[in-house]
Structure 1
């Protein structure tokens, strides 16, 4: 027993001695902190075309060789800032004098739309040729990327915080990912899991009290129409609370309710950045029940736009929403919109860009009164709902002939005449009259919750 103990102590001593020798050798090969900072700054500038300042750089050899850099700031009008960056390597690569990163951890990273635009512009104009997509992917082979307290600042100067981790496989493609919005009021989390060796991922999204799950694929086909990289996804939103979804990304919605449907995602380009610039989505949705939170459609029609305050409860609300990255912001187009309730039905289309609303609707009051044209303008914060000039003039004439129903009929006729004089087809934007029914003199105003006076950022 004592002999085994002696042998064990001898082996352990040799192992400790060997590790000590390796540590001393590795330390001798490592540059000083100042030299490391200079090398890093030079390599970063040569690779990206952007200068960077480093507050401090220090090495650590236990339990794994690592390099910690603090107070990283790029020299730009809108700098990229990181409180702390930790790069973890492997002993084998270090002993072969070819250090390789197996984990990169970023704490307190600040990125903005403007800083990334400047960064990409500098890289494009630098002497070094940009890496092709596959070469960029190879740089991430078997690397784990971790980020905590990453703040993204969009073009509206709204800050969104993210945390997460991504594991890259042997080909540099993500094998799994877990990304979260930690400060969201309701859970907002996306998980990716690669399906075998294919560039295909299962997508699981928990957001706004519902799920948005599906599958995404990435193809790399040189010479393909629209760009060699092609990202596509098919997702299925289920029971998404629309107001909570908007609030998750610090936006506001004029519609409340739980929506379900289908989503298609498409992006194409020659490089990774092109995928973001070309990203398009299309979602067919339906919510039942739902509520328009900023105005009372029924009251707006019966008063010809004089009164709009209130809300509009709906039995059902459906349509298509498409998004497109324009380079100047995300454009939202809502089409085939259909709203139904006991008081009214409506259909139309809306465009939302940089916070401004543009659209039109045709509203049918209860019991089959014809479609009254309504123009939508203003902003998400303060939407404006009003009949067109021709509709207002027609409503005055209709009211003199026959109160209530005559007002609606006159508004519709006045708008049609206005469009005809402008050289447009009278039925180009508004729906055809509903089938005849028992008309009422006036529609009972819909009741609902008053609009929320709280202001917030909007597109």
Structure 2
């Protein structure tokens, strides 16, 4: 078995592989279904250190051999749950105590990200050892992110004879427009990297690209790749994953992928992306710049159409969820130009930038920080309002005078509190 094979596993198939191996390993003794359920529980706890409760087990030999595990869950603070796992082994290898599984079907699972940490380093890949897995399909699988957001997925993975994935498909059911990811194995490079063609359909747009997987002599895997997103509706894409977007418009650009690890789980956890993006027909959602300026920041409800929006977005999986960093961001809306950077991580935002008026004659720093749902926003609204008045009355010099007027409207600066006396 190659180093590739020993290291292929995914979070979605952790429970699948363990339960399949556990129930089929004892099939040779032909226990009754209740006894088989108890053996699966004992084997799971012995191998993974977590208690498992199995509701029921059904199996048959005649016709199409099958083992079915129903209503199983772990006893953890955030439990792994599955409504049904069906394993379809080949009969002849099974009689020789070899496990060749034509298909595993997983339905109705709940996979909290926080629960998976207990299994790192303890899971034997379902295609490893003397187990050969041909295909896995899953429906209605709910993955709960670090931030507690549940997202439902369907999908399928079909393996080649060398036990590497031949094709994989992941989709978000009941999302319109459809959101799907397809990866198809497409040969090797001259350097020996396995090539996968990538195709994403989401939010009315698409992204085509390629990924390459290489493995060192020591078994260390490296994933690199590129995607070219085109005409993707930003707000619709985030909404498909139950997240609110601060901007609207259609994004296009270029994305680079990179990850390293000894297992596929490590690859996923180390995945880093970098995207250079341009958003057409962009607008700020839930923020009206004109209202904010005229009301000195008191009234911001509405939208702000943007003449242009560009920037660089980088994402990095971490032990505390996805970290997203925006740099080189520039937005233009009439006389206003905003530039800056922001970081989103652990439900918090930290952003800094500058808002320029009339081509940079006046520029005002701004900042936002705190919970992403309701951050604290600081900016000298009076200065902006004064600059806007000055620009309307007399361009250039009038803008500077207007900025001074804005400072007066805002009132004198607040005195800084004295440091505490010891």
Do Structure 1 and Structure 2 share a fold, with TM-score over 0.5?
A: yes
* C-alpha distance after superposition, 1:230-273 (max 9, x if no partner): 12221111101000011011001111000000111111123332
SS at match of 1:55: strand
Q: State the TM-score, normalized to the length of structure 2.
A: 0.79
Quick check: 234-243 or 166-175, which moved more?
A: 166-175
8 Å CA contact 2:98, 2:131 repeated in 1: no
Matched, 1:212 2:204: no
8 Å CA contact 1:252, 1:380 repeated in 2: no
1:140, distance to aligned residue in structure 2 (A):
6.5
8 Å CA contact 1:76, 1:118 repeated in 2: no
Q: State the TM-score, normalized to the length of structure 1.
A: 0.73
* C-alpha distance after superposition, 1:355-384 (max 9, x if no partner): 322212222224553322222335443355
Residue among 171, 176, 184 paired with 1:185: 176
Q: What is the match of residue 60 of structure 2?
A: 60
Unaligned 5+ runs, structure 2:
1-26, 391-396, 408-412, 414-422
8 Å CA contact 1:164, 1:177 repeated in 2: yes
Q: What is the match of residue 415 of structure 1?
A: none
> Given the superposition, is the C-alpha separation of residues 343 and 310 from structure 1 closer, same or farther in structure 2, using an over 3 Å criterion?
farther
Q: What is the match of residue 369 of structure 1?
A: 361
Q: Matched residues in 1 for 2:119 and 2:340: separation?
A: 41
8 Å CA contact 1:141, 1:169 repeated in 2: no
Q: What is the match of residue 5 of structure 2?
A: none
1:303, distance to aligned residue in structure 2 (A):
5.7
> Given the superposition, is the C-alpha separation of residues 394 and 167 from structure 1 closer, same or farther in structure 2, using an over 3 Å criterion?
closer
Q: What is the match of residue 153 of structure 1?
A: 144
SS at match of 1:276: helix
> Given the superposition, is the C-alpha separation of residues 316 and 30 from structure 1 closer, same or farther in structure 2, using an over 3 Å criterion?
same
Residue among 232, 235, 256 paired with 2:224: 232
8 Å CA contact 1:141, 1:170 repeated in 2: no
8 Å CA contact 1:331, 1:353 repeated in 2: yes
For 1:9-28, list aligned pairs within 5 A.
Answer: none
Q: Matched residues in 2 for 1:358 and 1:102: separation?
A: 49
The structure whose Rg is larger is 1
Unaligned 5+ runs, structure 1:
1-26, 125-129, 413-417, 419-459
Q: Matched residues in 2 for 1:357 and 1:410: separation?
A: 32
Q: What is the match of residue 44 of structure 2?
A: 44
Tell me the matched-pair count.
373
* C-alpha distance after superposition, 1:201-221 (max 9, x if no partner): 111111111112211122221
> Given the superposition, is the C-alpha separation of residues 230 and 138 from structure 1 closer, same or farther in structure 2, using an over 3 Å criterion?
farther
Q: Matched residues in 2 for 1:394 and 1:294: separation?
A: 20
Q: What is the match of residue 176 of structure 1?
A: 167
Matched, 1:337 2:329: yes
Q: Matched residues in 2 for 1:233 and 1:280: separation?
A: 11
Q: Matched residues in 2 for 1:200 and 1:137: separation?
A: 22
8 Å CA contact 1:364, 1:371 repeated in 2: yes
8 Å CA contact 1:305, 1:385 repeated in 2: no
Residue among 243, 252, 260 paired with 1:251: 243
> Given the superposition, is the C-alpha separation of residues 219 and 79 from structure 1 closer, same or farther in structure 2, using an over 3 Å criterion?
same
Q: What is the match of residue 85 of structure 2?
A: 85
Matched, 1:322 2:314: yes
For 1:276-291, list aligned pairs within 5 A.
Answer: 276-291=268-283
1:44, distance to aligned residue in structure 2 (A):
2.4
